[in-house]
Structure 1
């Protein structure tokens, strides 16, 4: 008797939605935030490859918190097309392909991600039981300051070692040793 092959459900990757835009601080007639495409301003300004902090800028992004090693803005942003990014070899890539960009320097994390050990996930490990949804780097990490904030649990976990159950009193080590006759 031949068994049918298991149906594998898809693994969906939550990619960024298009090209990012800057919130102008204004709202339109429907109450939605008015956003400005990056190319609106960057098409008329000369890029400065030395800038790597928001406080170095004069017109926009002054509040940008930046802590990404010695990189400058133009290490990742495409100076000739601000609606895209670029790889280390200057190949243009879309913002949705950010994992390819991050993986150039963060190869260990990318390999861990590929094997399921890094990156958020919802759904099923066993794809015969249901689909899985995965995040990209920028779903969890701010690309300008990617270090993930350290968090402490509100309450420490309870386990049988640190918090013994009432019906199992803790015995001291010397109580467990055999007595000399």
Structure 2
């Protein structure tokens, strides 16, 4: 047998002994000062934010994204010490127009319309954000839902009016899922190119 290509450079038995001694050192119980430090650290994290620190966090949160009043309260309560202080702070922010449910509702409507959603899906999104749909009733009435439904149908299925009942049913289900009313759906799937 020939000599190995790589000579044996490490003494494995010495390394095993060395590491087994280090493991025994690591497994020894921690000192009492270590335990006191971790207990002190835990109480500090449980205290939560108050006063100016809470206010600063609220402003930092609002600079990144618009929140509804209910969502902002829930987000701040995760880090605050007192829920009543959070509610008082959010009310103050709303009075000074740093937080506005109206703005959030309008942004939600615009975003949902861009995504091809109908009035029913928009109302669901507003309910999910705990916003009153009365904030944007005027905006919802200004939108031409027939045209929105037709444009969505054309984008997905083309301009041809389907004669097959299965294809019509598929188009109806698609537009219903997107949140359109039945009268807008029926006009959209029956509309011919000549009517444009």
Q: How does the TM-score come out when normalised to structure 1?
A: 0.23
Q: 1 or 2, which has the higher strand percentage?
A: 1
User: What TM-score do the two structures reach when normalised by structure 2?
Assistant: 0.22
Larger RCO: 1 or 2 (CA < 8 Å, sep 6+): 1
